[in-house]
Chain A
Amino acid sequence: MLAQRLNGAKLLSNSSRLLGSRCLSSSIVSRNSTYRTPDFGSNVKQDRDADKSRSYAYFMVGSLGLLSSVGAKSTVETFVTSMTASSDILAMAKVEVNLAAIPEGKNVVVKWQGKPVFIRHRTPREIQEANSVDVASLKDPQTDADRVQDPQWLVMLGICTHLGCVPIGESGDFDGWFCPCHGSHYDISGRIRKGPAPLNLEIPKYELDGDKLVVG
């Protein structure tokens, strides 16, 4: 009888076999118990592969985890992407200018994010003039090379650093820009030379690609 039961319940460990077939516990109470564990042997699969069923169970748990984590990920992604700028705003963030249409010695003003951007195609003489200035004598010392990517093209924000007026091109004492509001004079590199403005005209982020200028 005992042997038969042992045959049926193959899972029992060695220690419990020593103590008796019915339990895994080794306490006195359980050892003295008269309860007889039913024989489940007839219900146990004959060709049972423990590794296979265990792997199957873990695979199912893992698959559920996969689906939940992907769901959680896409939920988070939805909220995060809702915070990014929409495409119409992104389209406004940059402005493209064809530089081939600007002759040498001419100014062009384009609007970028509601602000004017001055683009000047400088002549060699103007470049020379911008480089001949003694940097130490300037109010906001900056070399011309710091302000341009290509000396031919001067790109800067057309907002006076004093109180935000729009300076007038090709005027003023230094043949650059002149702000009519309070009389600030900027030179051909957009640097403040005379008047109340404290800083040089600001340079926006821009990229030059052959004849194409992208501001923004």
Chain B
Amino acid sequence: MSFATIYRVFFKRNAVFVGTIFAAGFVFQPLFDSGITSWYEAHNKGKLWKDVKAQLQLVGDEEAADDE
């Protein structure tokens, strides 16, 4: 697709331009959100509550096993 076609399809009519931006926003937002979340969780691995909770449960199970 040449640049002239891109211009004619997306940019020439303002309604199409703005509409494309808003439509792309709805696609972009969840992708951005999940991307940032997965990066944050990877960066803080081991410190998050879900990791700590799994560890605590592991310890709790061991203690329960000791009690028996």
Residue in A49, A62, A70 whose CB lies within 8 Å of B20: A62
Distance, CA A58 to CA B17, complexed state (A): 9
Is B65 engaged at the interface, CB distance under 8 Å to the other chain? no
Is B22 engaged at the interface, CB distance under 8 Å to the other chain? yes
Distance, CA A62 to CA B7, complexed state (A): 12
Is B32 engaged at the interface, CB distance under 8 Å to the other chain? yes
Residue in A51, A66, A69, A73 whose CB lies within 8 Å of B7: A51
Is A86 engaged at the interface, CB distance under 8 Å to the other chain? no
Footprint of A on B, CB under 8 Å?
2-4, 6-7, 10-11, 17-18, 20-22, 24-25, 28-29, 32
Q: Do B32 and A55 touch across chains, with their CB atoms under 8 A apart?
A: no
Kindly count the residue-residue contacts between A and B in the assembled complex, taking CB atoms under 8 Å apart: 39
Contact (A70, B25) CB under 8 Å given A51-B3, A55-B7, A58-B11: yes
- Chain A residue numbers with a CB within 8 Å of B18 are 65
Of all chain B residues, which has the CB nearest A55?
Answer: B3
Is A48 engaged at the interface, CB distance under 8 Å to the other chain? no
Distance from B40 Cβ to chain A, minimum over Cβ atoms (Å): 16
Counting from the closest, the 8 A-B pairs by CB-CB distance are A51-B3, A58-B11, A51-B4, A55-B3, A52-B3, A65-B21, A69-B25, A70-B25
Q: Do A55 and B29 touch across chains, with their CB atoms under 8 A apart?
A: no
Q: Do A55 and B21 touch across chains, with their CB atoms under 8 A apart?
A: no
Distance from B34 Cβ to chain A, minimum over Cβ atoms (Å): 13
Contact (A73, B3) CB under 8 Å given A58-B17, A62-B17, A62-B20: no
Q: Do B22 and A69 touch across chains, with their CB atoms under 8 A apart?
A: yes
Is A25 engaged at the interface, CB distance under 8 Å to the other chain? no
Distance from A149 Cβ to chain B, minimum over Cβ atoms (Å): 38
- Chain A residue numbers with a CB within 8 Å of B10 are 58, 62
Contact (A66, B24) CB under 8 Å given A51-B4, A74-B29: yes
Distance, CA A51 to CA B28, complexed state (A): 26
Distance from A73 Cβ to chain B, minimum over Cβ atoms (Å): 6
Is A54 engaged at the interface, CB distance under 8 Å to the other chain? yes
- Chain B residue numbers with a CB within 8 Å of A62 are 10-11, 17, 20-21
- Chain A residue numbers with a CB within 8 Å of B11 are 54-55, 58, 62
Q: Do A70 and B29 touch across chains, with their CB atoms under 8 A apart?
A: yes
Of all chain B residues, which has the CB nearest A52?
Answer: B3
Q: Do B17 and A66 touch across chains, with their CB atoms under 8 A apart?
A: no
Q: Do A73 and B25 touch across chains, with their CB atoms under 8 A apart?
A: yes
Distance, CA A69 to CA B23, complexed state (A): 10
Of all chain B residues, which has the CB nearest A69?
Answer: B25
